C-alpha cells in the first residue's frame, strides 16, 4: 500500500521549489528514492512532465515510471467513467478514486504546476506536512493506493516505453 500525493500551485517556481524540498526530505531520511514529478501547464494549455533527476547517474529518481504515470493523470480532463477509453477511465479501472482523478486533472491552471509523488517509505503525513510548509499555498490532493490498484498501476507502467522516462539528453 502507498499514497499518491499531488500538490497544485499557481506558480511554477513554487512547484519546482517544493519538488526540490521533497528530494531533500528523501535524502535526509535516507529512504529509497521515489519518483518526484513537477507537471506544468503553459499559457496555451500544453502539459509538460519534469522528472527529478539523480545527479550522479542522470536518470530519473525512482526509475521514472511513477512520475510519468502521475504526469499522465493531468492529460485527460474528462470525468472518468466505467468502461471508458480515456486515460482517466483507465486509471479508475486500475483502482484509483474517480473524484481524486477528476480533481487532479482539473487542478492545473494555465501557468500553474503541480508536484506529484507516490509515497511508501517517507509516510504520507510527513510529505503533506513538508508540502504545506512551502510557499505558494498548495492545494493538496491525496489518495490511498491498495494492493490491487498498485498491481494494476504497475501493469500500466509496463506499457510506458523506456524512451518516455529518460531525459532527452540521455537518449
Q: Mean pLDDT per 10-residue run, the chain (171 residues)?
A: 92 92 88 84 88 54 69 79 80 89 89 90 88 90 91 79 52 37
Q: Is residue 25 included in any domain, yes or no?
A: yes
> How many structural domains compose the chain?
1
Q: Is residue 153 included in any domain, yes or no?
A: yes
Task: Return the pLDDT at 127.
Answer: 92
Task: Return the pLDDT at 150.
Answer: 85
Q: Is residue 101 included in any domain, yes or no?
A: yes
Label the pairing between strands 47-51 and 139-145: unpaired
Task: Return the pLDDT at 62.
Answer: 52
Which domain covers residue 45, as residue numbers? 2-158
Q: Is residue 164 included in any domain, yes or no?
A: no
Q: Could you give the CA distance from residue 164 to residue 145 in angstroms, rounded to a whole number?
A: 24
Q: Is residue 171 included in any domain, yes or no?
A: no
Query: Residue 127 class from Cβ within 10 Å (0-12 exposed, 13-18 middle, 19+ buried)?
Result: buried
Task: Return the pLDDT at 5.
Answer: 94
Amino acid at each position: 500500500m502507498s499514497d499518491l500525493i499531488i500538490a497544485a500551485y499557481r506558480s511554477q517556481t513554487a512547484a519546482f521549489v517544493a519538488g526540490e524540498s521533497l528530494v531533500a526530505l528523501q535524502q535526509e531520511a535516507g529512504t529509497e528514492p521515489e519518483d518526484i514529478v513537477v507537471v506544468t501547464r503553459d499559457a496555451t494549455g500544453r502539459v509538460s512532465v519534469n522528472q527529478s533527476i539523480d545527479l550522479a547517474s542522470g536518470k530519473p529518481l525512482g526509475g521514472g515510471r511513477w512520475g510519468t504515470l502521475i504526469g499522465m493523470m493531468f492529460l485527460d480532463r474528462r470525468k472518468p467513467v466505467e468502461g471508458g477509453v480515456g486515460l482517466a477511465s483507465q486509471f479508475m479501472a486500475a483502482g484509483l478514486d474517480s473524484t481524486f482523478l477528476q480533481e487532479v486533472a482539473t487542478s492545473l491552471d494555465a501557468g500553474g504546476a503541480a508536484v506529484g509523488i507516490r509515497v511508501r517509505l517517507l509516510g504520507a503525513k510527513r510529505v503533506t506536512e513538508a508540502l504545506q510548509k512551502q510557499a505558494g499555498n498548495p492545494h493538496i490532493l491525496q489518495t490511498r493506493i491498495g494492493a490491487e490498484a498498485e498491481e494494476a498501476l504497475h501493469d500500466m507502467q509496463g506499457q510506458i516505453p523506456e524512451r518516455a522516462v529518460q531525459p532527452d539528453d540521455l537518449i
